[in-house]
A and B are shown apart, each in its own frame.
Chain A
């Protein structure tokens, strides 16, 4: 290390990130590539600021991957995960199996022994969870078919690491020193001494403990923490949770990422989900960035330049082999053309587990360091190439072979501008779109699901494919000439993002936004959108009317009191929104929701005493005109 310790290192890394990431983003390269470039620049083959510290930083920063999987788990309800079991086992299993087979046989063809080849095949079959998920997330592609499939495959790979670690020592050459070295990041494994069945039992016990604790212990724990009303204590507790689980998993020889992912899934239904997300998110982002920088700085340019042909061959062979298998898989699982290309390009690299597995293999004397080093360099290069490859896919392949961003129209056809742009054509947007079309209002649709885009285009709609938060896409969709913009994306945050872009570049657009619930509606209103629609409000009120009718309320009465309720609810949105701003002291989101609900319920009690439709009421008239004959 060149500097004086920790602060200098921190300064170098942070400067590199702060300088290069915005530049990379501006140039349309995405943040991952920005971090990688930063790493190359400050690494031993650039400005040489990091020295040999890079490896340590990488181990430390790998924790960002663990946190990322925790956050992904938080967004995945158990039921959703269960629905993904097919792709995880089927697609993931096939990808790992076929890749191992193909890469192993390629290595054997190059004259290596079966054991060495298998070790290489297993290691290189894995892809990089960190790079793939971060890049896909940044491009908002996680919800697409390719994104979901990539996620499923990566999840399976995370699980597959466990048996790989177990097999690795068995592949050692005869003269191996039988030192069983821990594959994780810290300490020794507790269960080394146990026989096979004990090992399995311990693993099951730990997983069961995580699930049970997540279900029964974590809530009271966080409730107690939240009661202290100390923001930083909650953050500490959240970090403690993640680190604790990661540690526990390493101790039984499991992947920490897998453990925290599991914990995330268990907590996905809990009321503390949003706070946990908010607290872990910045740490994850920082560590992940650090991780990418470390990967960049670990690329050994000395080794590469001394043997460029060999390394290039390995990188090319690795990525081609994986691409072929992924493309075939995509075909087998009936992905659309461009989804398939995206899926294949996303996963065609080596992963961060390769660094671990290769050094593990060397420690176990499976093969020598002179073999491992070029492989490690090749993996790092393939990781760095992934964001570039996705960029090439976006700019070259998709426009040519995939769903076009906009439909090419005959030149002589006058391109009339539609007055309404609808972003997102799912459950919500499609109903608005159909209503408008049924009444001869022409619409332009922005959609991110290529299969849907193809369908809509076949039906003659004007559809633009891509991320609606990109101002150039809005521009080509005719935002200058349009009057209205309907934000019907299911994700309220995304709507907010599009809204901000639209207001900046096309301030004349009147925006109508979908909100998933009250708090999302507050945020959109705070952003200055006047027309905000809570997606479940009208449906639940309709159900409420039917419930009232089933209880014997007259139909028209039920309708009217529900309308009154609705008006009152709309008014309360505005009232409570401002009240929220006035509250000086911090209260957590969940606490806030409870207080909102309390306010609402109290004001409804008040409302109940108000007179409805007094004009149709005859009590006072009987009193005035009925005299003594009026019956009571």
Chain B
């Protein structure tokens, strides 16, 4: 793993991957990349019995943490929430003596059924997608992590196979850039989502 600038840990949470149209394809772009650990939570802890010590040890070995999941009721799937509750312990991840995750970066990679246009103050969902992720952003903040703008794939109910493939390529490119530290984080912070304009975010990307 030392050959890469950063180690990436993708924590993937999907309770019914066998029914998934989009996520089942997206993960194929990243799940066997070098320097990237792909961690399929529902596959490893089908009984919700999370091995806290093991999870913490794994977090320590990585610089970039990715939460990859579909947005369920505007939040993370239950097992990822359980994971956050149990793994991000007081005195370890936060609190006076808790600084294990300080300086690491956290990225949410999410899919939503609704189209992007539904996520605004005037539209059906009444909030931009970023606002639904405040609980994760605040968790990152309390733990001293930098929370990146999310990588979002909208409109999964209507998306075509070509579009899924394009998102897959983008996903892979973002993860590669994070791993190789070739991402322009200042630019990225201004974006509503990390994949709004890939050319702006990726350093040295040819047009």
Which residues of A line the B interface, CB within 8 A? Answer: 560, 563-564, 567, 613-616, 620-621, 624
Contact = CB atoms under 8 A, between A and B. Distances in A.
Contacts of A620: 90-91, 95
A43 B90 CA distance: 85
Contacts of B90: 614-615, 620-621, 624
B85 interface: yes
A615 B88 contact: yes
16 contacts: A563-B47, A564-B49, A613-B86, A614-B52, A614-B89, A614-B90, A615-B52, A615-B85, A615-B86, A615-B88, A615-B89, A615-B90, A616-B85, A616-B86, A621-B95, A624-B95
Interface in B35-56: 47, 49, 51-52
B96 interface: yes
A567 B51 CA distance: 10
Given A620-B91, A621-B95, A567 B49 contact: yes
A172 to B, nearest CB: 77
Interface in B44-75: 47, 49, 51-52
Nearest to B85: A615
B49 A560 contact: yes
Contacts of A614: 52, 86, 89-90
Contact of A624 (B52, B85, B96): B96
A624 B52 CA distance: 22
Contacts of B133: none
A557 to B, nearest CB: 13
- Contact residues on B (Cβ < 8 Å of other chain), bracket: 10 to 19
Contacts of B52: 614-615
Nearest to B86: A615
| 8 nearest A-B residue pairs (beta carbon) | A615-B86, A563-B49, A615-B85, A620-B90, A615-B89, A621-B90, A614-B89, A620-B91
A624 B97 CA distance: 10
Interface in B71-129: 85-91, 95-96
A615 B87 contact: yes
B182 to A, nearest CB: 35
Nearest to B47: A563
A567 B44 CA distance: 13
Contacts of A613: 86
Residue among B47, B49, B85, B87 with max Cβ neighbours from chain A (10 Å): B49
Contacts of A567: 49, 51
Nearest to A614: B89
Nearest to A564: B49
Nearest to B93: A615
B78 to A, nearest CB: 13
A565 B183 CA distance: 45
Contacts of B85: 615-616
A221 B97 CA distance: 62
A471 B89 CA distance: 54
A620 B90 CA distance: 7
A560 B86 CA distance: 13
Given A563-B47, A615-B85, 8 more contacts: A560-B49, A564-B49, A567-B51, A614-B90, A615-B87, A620-B90, A620-B91, A621-B90
B126 to A, nearest CB: 32
A300 B88 CA distance: 87
A555 to B, nearest CB: 14
A615 B84 CA distance: 9
Contacts of B91: 620
A620 B91 CA distance: 8
A614 B89 CA distance: 7
A614 B96 CA distance: 16
Nearest to A618: B90
A421 to B, nearest CB: 24
